[in-house]
Amino acid sequence: MARWMPEFERFFHYRNLDVSTLKELCRRWQPAIYKGFQKRAMHTALADIHESIDELKYYREHFLIPAASAPAGESAPAA
């Protein structure tokens, strides 16, 4: 890839983000937030990609928030 598609290859990194891992952390640490995202389960390749992007956006907006931005009575998940 580095030889034939160098610009594309730059998008990859050994630290990949796996939405399933983030989902599992949310399920364990913030179950109420976890239950807030519902999949449409269309099961086509393109639909699954779009759904994973939407799911990551959801977790970024609701789960990965700074402690100062967390709703009253809740705290951002500990590392």
Residue 14 is a catalytic residue: yes
13: left (phi over 0), alpha (psi -120 to 50) or beta: beta
Which residue do the tokens 């389960």 mark? 41
Is the torsion defined by CA of 58, 60, 64, 65 positive or negative? negative
Active-site residue, from 14, 34, 58, 59 = 14
Q: Would you please indicate which residues are annotated as catalytic (active-site) residues?
A: 14
